[in-house]
Every structure is written in structure tokens, then in C-alpha cells.
Amino acid sequence: MNGSLLIFGGNKNKREDNIIDIVNKEESKTFEKIKDLEGKPDIHIVTLQEKEKSIGISQTREGTKFLRERPFSYNKKFLIILNSEKLTTQAQNSLLKTLEEPPSYALIILSAKTQNSLLETIVSRCKMISLKSENKDEEIESEVSLKKILKMSLGERLDICSEISKEEKEYVLEILEKWVGEGRELLLKNPKDATNVKNIKRIIEIKNDLENTNVNVRLSLEALVLSLT
């Protein structure tokens, strides 16, 4: 396989799993996570940088420059663009020529929540891989649940906050609403457990702050998960 692909739909984990499956199939590898692809000389990953709200043209230019040289140790060179719905219009336009005529040894993979989040000129230059969409509750559950958070170490909780905070605020609020629902279910099972009451109140407090003020999403989430017991 070569050319340009757009993987959309499903959730973040499903899209990343699909990317890994493609790379493994093309190169007869056994990678398990996106992090396994980092640092490989023939794989270049473009993604949203910490504290940034979009992927700019400097990142896409670095990616297209990477494709100019032939593979070093693999059969192909892979340019993988995660969170491609975060590409600025300028960054998307800088990819058009490369997407339309990629080198024969190159495979360009874009991952996005929906195809509608990208310019039509980008979409038209890619082969489409549509993943089965789940309803929002199932998507949030598969990404992260309150039950999972409570079982995590403090370090793991901070790591997941870094990922969640990159999403749109609306999505973050839906996650918090889901956590409130989970907390209430736990409370019904054990009404005398004051811990559940405390957790629910704290989640609602942070959710209200995010809805009504301009507080920093990541810092708010970190304060929340560190306080949950």
C-alpha cells in the first residue's frame, strides 16, 4: 500500500490501533502502541504539541521534508498525522501537493474525528478508511472512565489529563458529566460511603468552573484527579 489515507470515525484509540495495524502489516512488525513508532528513522509523527491548540504549517513542512529521502531501514516511509482535525487551513494547504503525488515509497496517514473536519481538497486526495462510530457514552467509556481513574496511580492520572485536555472543551465536559453519573451509581450501591459524595461534589465543581469561566482546562483536570479518592 502507498499513497495517502484518511482514517476517521470511531474514537482516538480505534484510529491509533488502525494506524498501528497498517504499519505492522506493511513492515511485518509487532508494534502495539503509537509510542512504539516514535523515534523510528522511517516514521515521522505529526501531532498536537503540548499547550498548542492547532497544528501549524511548520510541522507539516517538516513532515513533507521528511519524505524527500528514501527509506533508511523499512520498505516505506510513513508520515502519520494524528489529530489532523487540528491542522490550520494553511497547514492543510501545504500538504495538498504531497498528498496528491506522494513519493512511490511513501505512505501518508491522516487521522481525524470526522472527514468533515478537514478541507474538501484534503479529503479528495485521500483513500478513506471509515471506522464504525460508537455512541458518545460508549466512546467516553472506552477512552477513560471514573472507575479507571480511581485505579490509576497519580502519575497515570496526570498523563491522562494531558490527553483529555487536548480535546475540545465540549468533549471534556461530557467526560465530566459521565464521571458524575458513574459517581452517583457508586453512591447508590453504597449510600454510606462519604468518599463518593466528596468525589461527585468535586467533579461538579470543576465542571461548573470549566463551563462558566476561562480556567485552564489541563490544570483544572489535574487538580480534580489528584483530589479524587
Residues 8 and 117 in one domain: yes
| Same domain, yes or no: 63 and 98 | yes
The domain tally of the chain equals: 2
Indicate whether 36 and 117 sit together in one domain.
yes
Beta bridge partners of 107: 3, 78
For the stretch 65-107, pLDDT in tens is 999 999 999 999 999 999 998 999 999 999 999 999 999 999 9
Per-residue confidence (pLDDT) for residue 56, from 0 to 100: 95
Geometric angle at alpha carbon 30, from 24 and 33, rounded to 5°: 85
Cell of 96: 495538498
Phi, psi of 197 (to 5 degrees): -60, -45
Measured distance CA(111)–CA(4) in Å, rounded: 11
CATH number at residue 106: 3.40.50.300
Q: What is the pLDDT of residues 153-187, one digit of tens each?
A: 999 899 888 888 877 777 788 889 889 988 988 88
Strand, coil or helix: what is 2? coil
pLDDT of residue 199 exceeding 50: yes
Q: Which of 116, 133, 150 is the last residue of a domain?
A: 133
Give the pairing type, strands 3-9 and 106-112: parallel
pLDDT-above-90 percentage for the chain? 58
Shared domain for 195 and 109, answered yes or no, is no
Domain boundary among 100, 117, 133: 133
- How far is the C-alpha of 55 from the C-alpha of 38, rounded, in Å? 18
Identify the DSSP state of 11.
-
Same domain as 25, residue 122 = yes
- Cell of residue 139, nine digits: 466512546
Assign 144 to helix, strand or coil.
coil
pLDDT digits (tens, 9 = 90+) for 51-61: 788 999 999 99
- CA 23 – CA 26 distance, rounded (Å): 5
Q: Which domain holds residue 182?
A: 137-227
CA 33 to chain centre: 13
Model confidence band, residue 9 (pLDDT cutoffs 50, 70, 90)? confident
Same domain? 53 vs 163? no
Using alpha carbons, select from 175, 138, 133, 120 the residue that is nearest to residue 15.
133
Which of 118, 133, 148 is the endpoint of a domain? Answer: 133
Q: For 101-193, where are the alpha helices, taking DSSP H only?
A: 120-123, 136-143, 146-151, 154-164, 169-189
Between 228 and 136, name the one with better pLDDT. Answer: 228
Mean pLDDT of the chain: 89
pLDDT at 97: 95
Identify the burial level of 157 via C-beta atoms within 10 angstroms of its C-beta, where 0-12 means exposed, 13-18 middle and 19 or more buried: buried
185 and 84 together in one domain: no
Q: How many CA atoms lie within 13 A of 199 on its CB side?
A: 24
- Are both 142 and 129 inside the same structural domain? no
Evaluate if pTM is beyond 0.85.
no
| Residues 203, 153 share a domain | yes
10 Å CB burial of residue 58 (0-12, 13-18, 19+) is exposed
What is the distance of C-alpha 188 from the center of its chain?
A: 33
Render pLDDT for 109-141 as a digit per residue (tens, 0 to 9).
999 988 878 999 999 999 999 886 555 445 444
| 141-157 average pLDDT score | 82
